[in-house]
Amino acid sequence: MLMNTQTSLHSYPLNLAPEGEWLIVSAIKADKQIHARLAAMGIVEGCELQVLNRQATNGGFVVRCGETRWAIDKGIAYRIFVTTAPAKS
């Protein structure tokens, strides 16, 4: 069962985001179990993330959410839809 199937026209999957980019989570297209796992990590709709590292070999990501860093595999990154965050001053 997929949830939150509506996304912004300018949103895209996290796995397409470049390193260093600040992003805002616009939707998570996943089942309740994945939603719960991501929520426990603080990754919920509206939160701000930064892509710290993209692993070319396995497609995984390291992202910053607040002061915490998380490794996310490409399967989960594909389900997290993001938009570019406004520039920080």
Give the pLDDT band of residue 10 (cuts 50, 70, 90).
Answer: confident
Q: What is the pTM of this model?
A: 0.82
Q: In the 8-state DSSP scheme, what is residue 28?
A: E
Q: 3-state DSSP helix/strand/coil percent for the chain, to nearest 5? A: 20, 35, 45
Assess whether pLDDT exceeds 60 at residue 89: no
Topology adopted by domain 12-84: SH3 type barrels. (2.30.30)
Q: What are the phi and psi torsion angles at 15 (to 5°)?
A: -65, -10
41 φ, ψ to 5°? -85, -10
Terminal Cα-to-Cα distance of the chain (whole angstroms): 40
In the 8-state DSSP scheme, what is residue 79?
T
- Given a cut of 80, whether residue 88 has pLDDT beyond it is no
